[in-house]
Amino acid sequence: MEKSERSFVVEEAEILEIGAALSEGRLTSVELVQLYLERIEQYDHQLNAIVAVNPDALTVAAELDAKRGEAKRGPLYGVPILLKDNIETSDQMPTTAGARVLANNYATEDSFVAKQLREAGAIILGKVNLSEFANFISDKLPNGFSGVRGQTKNPYQPGVFDTGGSSSGTGASIAASFAAAGVGSETSGSILSPASSNSLVGIKPTLGLVSRTGMIPLAHSQDTAGPMARTVTDAAILLTAIAGFDEEDQVTAPSTRHVHNYTDFLKKDGLKGARIGVDRTTMEWLTDAEKDIMERAIDVMKEQGAIIVDPINVPLPTHKSIVLHHEFKHDLNAYLSKLSSDVPVRTLAEVIAWNKEHPEAIPYGQSILEAAQEMSDDPNDPAYLADRQEDLVQSGEKGIDQMFKTFEIDAILFPKNYGAAAPAKAGYPSITVPGGYTPEGEPVGVTFSAMAYSEPKLIEIAYSYEQATHNRVAPVLDFIEKGDN
């Protein structure tokens, strides 16, 4: 690859900064792609975040450069974005969910998310690693491990700090500035966890705001894609691009009334008058250093005019639900049944059998796959329907809904991803913002959740907090290059 001679610095470069350089002719998209590819080549051997680089990226960049002056362009035009490797693209990159059995799973059509990004002019630079099958293969699986790419590491201290999961590669690669921003996915905590662990902004949208068409599923009642970026602004830009109605995913139908240009809600005074409830139950799970970070965050919110309602304790689930195992079997069987003959499996049972024949592909076993296989995949199974209803009641009606009604709040505050389960089950949105670092340098995120389609309010609150603190500090990748594994 020819080395770019441009002086533009991609480390920590924000989307609007990149767009200005492109529109003013100080940079081309071809040069920008080259800069990111150089950075990946220099550092990813220590992070294991990148599964595949799009071989068409430079060609697409050249085509976009040639058309740049033809019309007014949006902020993502000519900007490289990375996708979690469970999101399909109709190019020369497979979509594997980290599973070796899906190594030849080449899609013939883009996922809805990929279509939206291409329509916005974004360049899909590559696919990134994840906890295999979105962390639904084995109860022994470390965050960020897959049979396809191995162990993704946290750029803040590789091999020491957790990457979070399951969108581990999105977290590590965007923290390391391998692209302008990235897309992860979440069923329960899988955007919030790596966003917190890698000092990023992560938005887990309301269920249905972003289509799942063309995503390898875990559970349809909770699955969603969402943006991961280094700033709230960049996350809002990315969410604006990927949100919208998709006739192939009817859960998106109500979203037609709720899609916005989310950059309209980047308000520095977004905390003023906002009523924020503090979930003290999740605070109890923190170390002393992490508790200090959360208390400082609360102080900042007060200084910015927020009304802190403390405590509100969101009730924890009291039953062991079978919903994820049931839906995983049903949804994965439906997905696999449509794949080409290049993929050797058509059912979850066949995946399990293939893995047994190739034990090197699953060093941590497949206990969750096997447990899911034991479930009925009948969508009308009474036990499943009862648990799904109970999930909704406990997380929504008797959980988050009750907190909002009782305390008249705008958002719930919790640390990292520790309160992710309730909004995930209810289908409600959350946003994580960098909150600070422990004395050892480990990132800790501050997370806000609210009712369905509250993304505008959450973005206001998160942006106001971000602008009051500017907590994010880039990882020191030269430290990695010196050989600390």
Provide CB contacts within 8 A for 385, sequence distance 6+: none
Residue with tokens 């309010």: 457
Distance of alpha carbon 220 from alpha carbon 235, whole angstroms: 23
185 dihedral zone (left: phi>0; alpha: psi -120 to 50; beta): beta
Q: Which of 131, 146, 168, 190 is catalytic?
A: 190
Is 190 considered catalytic here?
yes
Q: What is the 3-state secondary structure (H, E, C) of 304-348?
A: CCCEEECCCCCCCCCCCCCHHHHHHHHHHHHHHCCCCCCCCCCCH
Between strands 411-415 and 430-437, the pairing is unpaired
Is 416 considered catalytic here?
no
* CA dihedral (416, 289, 399, 162) positive or negative: positive
Provide CB contacts within 8 A for 479, sequence distance 6+: none
Distance of alpha carbon 154 from alpha carbon 144, whole angstroms: 9
Provide CB contacts within 8 A for 69, sequence distance 6+: none
Q: What is the 3-state secondary structure (H, E, C) of 41-80?
A: HHHHHHHCCEEEECCCHHHHHHHHHHHHHHCCCCCCCCCE
Answer yes or no: are the C-beta atoms of 459 and 213 closer than 8 Å. Answer: no
Q: Which of 84, 115, 204, 329 is catalytic?
A: 84
Between strands 123-128 and 80-84, the pairing is parallel
Q: Which of 29, 131, 166, 196 is catalytic?
A: 166
Distance of alpha carbon 143 from alpha carbon 33, whole angstroms: 29
Phi first, then psi: give them for residue 308, nearest 5 degrees.
-90, 120
Distance of alpha carbon 63 from alpha carbon 22, whole angstroms: 14
Provide CB contacts within 8 A for 186, sequence distance 6+: 167, 192, 204, 222, 223, 224, 226, 420, 424
Instruction: For residue 406, give Cα distances in angstroms to 33, 309, 410, 419.
Output: 50, 11, 12, 19
Residue with tokens 């047994």: 356
Distance of alpha carbon 132 from alpha carbon 381, whole angstroms: 27
Is 84 considered catalytic here?
yes
Positions marked active-site: 84, 166, 190
